[in-house]
Chains A and B, each alone.
Chain A
């Protein structure tokens, strides 16, 4: 949620696009000019040195804080000089590419961490990112494009933004720019056209971006309404009957295991919880008497999943119990959970006959609760 509790913290504004070349940076710079015109102290804190000529033109007339230079393996790389921006203390800093990973040897690993430092210092930050860099959308992006995006930004960072702006362009216009060599160097164009920029991919990514932006706008309305106790009928949700729906708050429980599909399960659970305005908890149950008795490999996988859940602002719990499914279901009943999320674990028939499939066991046991079995979409993609 936008930070309203600490007035001194800077605001964050994110320009969200569906692919490289849609014009995020261009629009950010154009709005930067408008802000400078109306009297704000605006600086460009980081700007891709290999930017497109049109975009470079747009940056002219705005003050730029010189980039830091970092030596790595005999080459010099440019990164944002966060300390220099702090010293300059503008009211608004424009920082391109929020999802960027800094060169080893930089003060912080990720650019979004640098941005946190600026925000903490009370500087307003405007930045750009593409939809595929939002952590919780990772699986959907994989499903659409078949490409696993590695540089992601935690949802919590995006959620802090006071404002998300959708930067839209038609896929035709984008493909045109690509073919004219405006987006990538000519040798990369062919590869892009058959990969990420494939016809139907762009439409699906675009739709996802628009829906995500609408969802982010919706969340900010709710946050505003809560702070003001401001009661307006939600026109976008109003029922024809005019009946206001008073629903008991939903509580979602995500069952964590060592299985790699858990990461996808966590993302899906987080997304559904966001849309339903539900509470979200993740639970791991170890069948061994002590957590430490788990095989090291399994323990590491589980710890990784629990860390990941916490990074998406999901509360985590660990319990011991010889009957894992039963422990999960009992925990759900005691904690007023309305929906349990489990992964569709693919087990061989032999294991199923021995009752090894915990997800199916949970479905059978929890007949008084809703259980959502989340599909492993990557498997279908791969097959």
Chain B
């Protein structure tokens, strides 16, 4: 596929790219360590990386630390230089001024989600991080799923925990690097002082934690997918298929679109994939047919599908071309309840699509 044929990038991606490029101008990189709960060992992984970087000759400082630290963590921290936080009557903040003066290559900030006391330079710590990045300082930082604004409610529903310290998800998506720190749930609970249970899900607490684990893994996969998309666009290479399931529902007035949309929605949820729906505009459609299509479009949107009307004399090629652009893995098409002169002339459109959709699965639905 030539670059000119690639779909137009989404505004979010352009924004991400702009942010990433702004940071890159100065060579600064943001790396986030994501955990599904406290006790997974994010801080350890991060500070250990800071230690290794320092040993390899990078200039590393620590600007914020968690208040409670295990013995292992303390041992790591002792090997690193600390820029002490700014103490105000209302609480602590990162001393951004001091870090900028010190001007290290890399700054460690643990954790990322924190509200600064009123009257601070920035209201949130993540804004401090942006300032450091803009000034060419790379940042290593950590965050728990609970503190990602868009996940707060879900985590709350599972654990009952609440927080006011959150970061927007877009901040995660704009990171140069994200790493998930995954650990078995029993070990996570053990580190938090619970007694040890057999491996696997063996009690209610682990059942809850495992759900957070799943969410954190999928969030990381989403970030990786966005990075992959940017990489593919930046390098103008053929998109890689396979890791992420994408379903495309082809809407026509005489197929069983409601069943296809419903199945598409279920597949999207099960596979944590994406759903698209298209209609190829053909001349000579009756008013009634057009109304039906509008209704189907509404249903597809409600099911969470990205919808598009394609214009082409050759519906089959239009669908296949669209599917390639969107990296579709499965096309849903319905048998038609009505044959047109065109179908009698060119042959069954379903079979023609199956033959044309090389490399993409085709699922045919009853009418």
Do A and B assemble together? yes
Q: Which of A79-87, A95-103, A229-237, A282-290 contacts B (4 or more CB under 8 A)?
A: A229-237
8 Å CB contacts to A: which residues of B170-225? 177-187, 190, 196, 198-201, 207, 210-211, 213-215, 217-218, 220-221, 224-225
Contact A203 B211 (CB under 8 A): no
Q: Per-residue 0/1 for A210-221: is the Cβ within 8 Å of any B Cβ (1 yes, 0 no)?
A: 110110011011
Q: Apart from A214-B214, A368-B366, what 13 extra A-B contacts exist at CB < 8 Å?
A: A13-B184, A143-B242, A144-B242, A207-B225, A221-B214, A230-B207, A236-B218, A275-B267, A367-B335, A367-B367, A370-B365, A372-B362, A379-B359
Min CB distance, A11 to chain B, in Å?
4
Interface range on chain A (Cβ under 8 Å from partner): 35 or more
* Cβ-based interface call for B231 (8 A): yes
Interface range on chain B (Cβ under 8 Å from partner): 35 or more
**Closest residue to B207 on the A side, CB-wise?**
A224
**Chain A residues near B178 (CB-CB < 8 A):** 170
* Cβ-based interface call for B310 (8 A): no
8 Å CB contacts to A: which residues of B132-190? 154, 157-158, 177-187, 190
19 A-B pairs within 8 Å (CB atoms) are namely A140-B242, A143-B241, A166-B180, A168-B180, A200-B240, A203-B231, A204-B242, A207-B221, A210-B180, A210-B218, A221-B214, A224-B207, A230-B207, A236-B215, A363-B351, A367-B367, A369-B366, A371-B364, A377-B359
Contact A200 B232 (CB under 8 A): yes
Min CB distance, B350 to chain A, in Å?
7
* Cβ-based interface call for B294 (8 A): no
Known: A162-B198, A370-B366. A204 touches B179 (CB 8 A): no
**Chain B residues near A172 (CB-CB < 8 A):** 177
* Cβ-based interface call for B58 (8 A): no
Q: Which of B59-67, B82-90, B107-115, B269-277 contacts A (4 or more CB under 8 A)?
A: B269-277
A209 and B362 CA atoms in complex are apart in Å by: 25
Min CB distance, A356 to chain B, in Å?
14
Known: A207-B221, A210-B218. A268 touches B361 (CB 8 A): yes
8 Å CB contacts to B: which residues of A189-223? 199-201, 203-208, 210-211, 213-214, 217-218, 220-221, 223
8 Å CB contacts to A: which residues of B36-71? none
**Closest residue to B365 on the A side, CB-wise?**
A370
Contact B243 A207 (CB under 8 A): yes
**Closest residue to B358 on the A side, CB-wise?**
A380
* Cβ-based interface call for B8 (8 A): no
Contact A211 B218 (CB under 8 A): yes
Q: Per-residue 0/1 for A342-383: is the Cβ within 8 Å of any B Cβ (1 yes, 0 no)?
A: 001000000000000000100110011111111111011000
8 Å CB contacts to B: which residues of A114-149? 124, 140, 143-144
What is the interface of chain A, defined by CB distance below 8 A to chain B?
A: 2, 11, 13, 31, 34, 38, 124, 140, 143-144, 162-163, 165-170, 172-173, 199-201, 203-208, 210-211, 213-214, 217-218, 220-221, 223-225, 230, 232, 234-237, 239, 245, 247, 268, 275-277, 339, 344, 360, 363-364, 367-377, 379-380
**Chain B residues near A201 (CB-CB < 8 A):** 240
* Cβ-based interface call for B24 (8 A): no
Contact A360 B361 (CB under 8 A): no
Q: Per-residue 0/1 for B234-270: is the Cβ within 8 Å of any A Cβ (1 yes, 0 no)?
A: 0101001111100000000000000000010011011
Q: Per-residue 0/1 for B342-363: is the Cβ within 8 Å of any A Cβ (1 yes, 0 no)?
A: 0000001011001001111111
* Cβ-based interface call for B228 (8 A): yes
Contact B351 A370 (CB under 8 A): no
Contact A163 B199 (CB under 8 A): yes
For B224, give its contact among A206, A220, A364 (CB under 8 Å).
A206
Min CB distance, B106 to chain A, in Å?
14
* Cβ-based interface call for B93 (8 A): no
Min CB distance, A244 to chain B, in Å?
12
**Chain B residues near A140 (CB-CB < 8 A):** 242-243
A218 and B207 CA atoms in complex are apart in Å by: 10
Contact B362 A214 (CB under 8 A): no
A370 and B272 CA atoms in complex are apart in Å by: 21
Contact A203 B210 (CB under 8 A): no
